[in-house]
Amino acid sequence: MSTLVSIRNLTRVFDVSKPWLNRVLENEPKRLLTAVSDVSFEVEENTVYALVGESGSGKSTIGKMLVGLLRPSEGEVEIRGVNLAAESDAKTVDQIRSDIQMIFQDPYASLNPRWRVGDIITEPVVARGGDATGLAAKLLEQVGLAAEDAQKFPHEFSGGQRQRIGVARALASNPKLIVCDEPTSALDVSVQAQVLNLMSDLKDDLGLTYLFISHDLTVVRHMADVIGVLYLGRLVEEADPDALFTTPKHPYTQMLLAAAPRMDQIGREVEPPKGEIPDPINPPTGCAFHPRCPLATDVCKQKRPELRYVGTTRVACHHAEG
């Protein structure tokens, strides 16, 4: 199995300062928000790599940097060994970008309401001068809709149907990698299952690779081959689903799993997660999780833990069990 995506030391910092004149008059410094901090991982071809974490952990920012909607402040994103930010050959960059598509979170906001569905689906092909004859009808049938739906407008469809249209649009350019940014979070539970099963079938049939971004641990366990857990923009644990759900190593992962709903323990009393996510503009020193961690010691406050292997799991914790 070959590596399709390599992300190395990826960092993204946003300037959230007030305008220059306001800062001068109020004597305030610049305010920088670190959304992603020194993240490294690899995605193998024909697999699903899932990123999970609380809101504000940097999941969507990583996805946007991967598809080129945001530029990294530091670090590299390589697709098939090509660093898109550093590559000077426009033809190579264009070819690599055509192999990447994205399915967005909100099916109501991601489709142009003024365009017919057929035009929305074929846009990635038409924009590059390709032949899109019959493509929309074929893809609509592939995602479980009717070929005649190509003549309709987005407002004529339900949320689940719109997300199927989003999947069809992502498939139009015959991509190798699809970044799925919370693709089912806006849908009803029964519709979620239909869309997830569709995506799973398409992965097997077409040989796709997914970067799957979600906060829903149940969905991730069903879809992923490898799971990366993010906290305050940092990757704190990475493992396959069996290892992560049975023997989580990082205290943050343990907290997430303890708070997740479980069908076999309906009515159980769960202690809510302690503390709140720190301010990303002024993150804690050392391990970012130490203000909420029951295992924290002085070394956690002073030194940022490096990702290291504990068994088959990569974990960034000074006190992870060996």
**pLDDT tens readout for residues 34-77:** 999 999 999 999 999 999 988 889 999 999 999 988 999 999 99
Structure tokens at 133: 């004859």
Whole-number Å distance between alpha carbons of 174 and 125: 9
Q: How many CA atoms lie within 13 A of 158 on its CB side?
A: 8
For residue 130, pLDDT over 90 is answered with: no
Whole-number Å distance between alpha carbons of 3 and 81: 9
pLDDT-based confidence at residue 82 (cuts at 50, 70, 90): confident
Q: Give residue limits of the domains in the chain.
A: 3-99+175-248
Asked if residues 110 and 181 have their Cβ atoms less than 8 Å apart, the reply is: no
For residue 243, pLDDT over 80 is answered with: yes
Please give the average per-residue pLDDT across 133-147, as a whole number. 92
Structure tokens at 259: 């708070």
Please give the average per-residue pLDDT across 227-241, as a whole number. 95
Asked if residues 111 and 162 have their Cβ atoms less than 8 Å apart, the reply is: yes
Asked if residues 144 and 198 have their Cβ atoms less than 8 Å apart, the reply is: yes
More confident residue, 219 or 275: 219
Q: Which residue from 112, 106, 101 is spatially nearest to 185, judged by alpha carbons?
A: 106
Q: Give the pLDDT of residue 307.
A: 93
Cβ neighbours of 228 (radius 10 Å): 24
For residue 1, pLDDT over 90 is answered with: no
Q: Give the pLDDT of residue 273.
A: 58
Whole-number Å distance between alpha carbons of 45 and 17: 40
Q: Give the pLDDT of residue 271.
A: 62
- Give the architecture (CATH level 2) of 3-99+175-248: 3-Layer(aba) Sandwich (3.40)
Which neighbouring-strand residues pair with 209?
Answer: 177
Give per-residue pLDDT as tens, 161-203: 999 999 999 999 899 999 999 888 877 888 888 888 889 999 9
Asked if residues 5 and 210 have their Cβ atoms less than 8 Å apart, the reply is: no
pLDDT-based confidence at residue 157 (cuts at 50, 70, 90): very high
Write down the mean pLDDT value for the chain. 89
